[in-house]
Structure 1
């Protein structure tokens, strides 16, 4: 694994994008634009994508605009205050988790359906399809434009007890990022109580025992140190975390056509390139957890099937509320995906 880690590190460093943005490098006279994310900036798929986007804009529109990127919720958490700030021009770009956007688009809840996708590369096939545009179309009525979709990775469960089956955490409380009824249904099957907490508050609440477990990607678990206060991480890959990159329509509509195209097309370019490396960044985080004596439970095929069977009724229950045709299209894309060829 040491060799793999070294290879992946070199691969990430070789990404053909401009140097990461320096938030302090704005020149006098430039219009400062603020990009808010809740994760770490460096070494995290979301943070890296935001920095890369800022670097492109700060180069292409040098002297006119300067994008400053704020990480770890230093500017806004992913809640109503963020969306208000975007509408009022106090922030200009953000990448909230899909779980935070179901009020704008019921279709965004598709990523909470357990075991809908076989892996992160299968999700990328869906993100690159025309079908995903239906989510972006729903955002317009709320005053937002979706510039693209940033990938993180697949969620894993962790808890204060090692989990090999869905019932091993029965009676515990788990942090959730939203009030999604789908997530609540999944945890109900596990006998777990959902507790909604901001991302920045998760570590402290795990540490003090207010909640005993959570679900997240390896990048989130490692960068925020969640594994340090959990007995083990169980590698389920049950759902996906990704982020629509959004901007306010009022900001974009204030631009001339040429300038607007720079903001829009740069987002597509950066996200296409960065999403290729989200898998590698999560693998690096996975290895970092192991190197720091964290415990990761790899399930046998039979154990993983137990999780799949337990959660299967959730798809049936919530498919129609998301959209039957939309979910069927995602299922078909997943089945047809051949990401390694």
Structure 2
């Protein structure tokens, strides 16, 4: 009896000794982003924080810093290199100088709908793009949505491609967007996002392209006469991690990060879709109430005419140092 009891106690002691200890806060992950917590990106970052801490039982302490509390997007990539911050979700345009191939998402009418877009991002083409970013000293994790862009004007309704001729449209810095508007005879004007409202109000520019959520929150619809629902281009973000921080994580924790980011990505896409629909409805309410804005829904034939007019720019970006023929044709062929 005594011998048996002794063996049992020893086994219990060994079990206690060999059981791995959970060290809470063993790794600190600072997630910096530039938007408010109630946006799709902000809510998804908070979801990621909660989920990763659950999955790792607190071994990774995720600290989310919204609203540019730590860094603006134009500075965060350098901060990631220095491991001053461990995670961020900049817009594609911020990667322009290091991975110009991300301009794939600027190409007009490349994606049939959100389902097709996500198939591209989650498939071979998306992985190639992430690998290009990772080869530059980051760990590229996932694509997050803003949404599709629409066209607006204060001059005339944009129904046919010819309607854009001669009009001045604000664009962000992008060779693709320049070519897009030149293809329909329009005049692209690079302008900071913060100046677009006053530019439209004062007639410095005639129109712009943006997502419904950007149009509504910045009140562009209040200084435009026509809004055409084109879904012609896409705005999104790439979630990236510090290469140094990623390498410091044991494989088991890296796997937990992948699970958490995949779940957060699905949530972010849902949040973005909800916000886009909600704010488009608010734009429609404004249009009905004031009569100051006409919203144009293109027919399939009209949309095809726009696609035909602007898709002729695709071969201009077949060079692998621009976007690459394989990526463009790969996206088109994705089902």
* TM-score past 0.5 threshold: yes
Distance 2:279 2:146 in 1: 12
Q: 1:173 aligns with which of 155, 168, 173?
A: 168
Instruction: Find 1:266's aligned residue among 252, 256, 260.
Output: 260
Alpha carbons of structure 1 residues 181 and 151: separation in structure 2 relative to 1, 3 Å:
same
Determine the structure 2 residue equivalent to 1:148: 142
The answer to whether the 8 Å contact 2:29/2:86 transfers is no
When the two chains are superposed, the root-mean-square deviation of aligned CA atoms in Å is 2.8
* Alignment: residue pair count: 303
- Kindly name which structure, 1 or 2, has the bigger radius of gyration based on alpha carbons: 2
Structure 2 residue corresponding to 1:69, chosen from 49, 60, 65? 65
Partner of residue 31, structure 2: 34
Tell me which residue corresponds to 2:50. Answer: 55
Q: Report the equivalent of 1:318.
A: 317
Residue segments in structure 2 that go unaligned for 5+ positions in a row: 1-23, 288-292
Q: Deviations over 1:153-174 (max 9, x none)?
A: 2111122233223343444433
2:58 is the counterpart of 1:94:
no
Cα gap change, 1:105 to 1:64, in 2 (>3 Å): closer
Question: Aligned-pair distance for 1:76?
Answer: 3.9
Compute the displacement of 1:313 (Å).
Answer: 1.0
Q: Secondary structure at the match of 2:183?
A: helix
Matches within 5 A, 1:1-341: 31=28, 33-37=30-34, 39-42=35-38, 44-60=39-55, 62=58, 65-71=61-67, 73=68, 75-79=70-74, 81-161=75-155, 162-178=157-173, 180-293=174-287, 295-321=294-320, 322-333=323-334, 336=335
- Distance (Å, rounded) in 1 between the aligned partners of 2:109 and 2:227: 18
Which residue in 2 is equivalent to 1:23? none
TM-score, structure 1 normalization = 0.78
TM-fit CA distance, 1:133: 0.6
Cα distance in 2, alignment partners of residues 75 and 175 from structure 1: 29
Structure 1's 93 and 173: CA in aligned 2 closer, same or farther, altered over 3 A?
Answer: farther
Q: Distance in 2 between matches of 1:245 and 1:215?
A: 24
What CA deviation, in whole Å up to 9, does each residue of 1:57-102 have, x standing for no partner?
354454752322313x5554433x2212222334332222223323
Shift of 1:190: 3.2
Instruction: Please report how far the alpha carbon of residue 230 of structure 1 lies from its aligned counterpart in structure 2 after TM superposition.
Output: 2.1
Matches of 1:165 and 1:259, distance apart in 2: 53
Give secondary structure in 2 for the equivalent of 1:237.
coil
Q: Which runs of 5+ in 1 are unaligned?
A: 1-26, 337-341
Question: Is this contact kept in 2: 1:92–1:247, CA < 8 A?
Answer: yes
In 1, the alpha carbon distance for the partners of 2:100 and 2:265 equals: 23
How far is 1:135 from its partner?
A: 0.5
Specify whether residues 107 and 60 from structure 1 end up closer, same or farther in structure 2 by C-alpha distance, changes over 3 A only. Answer: same
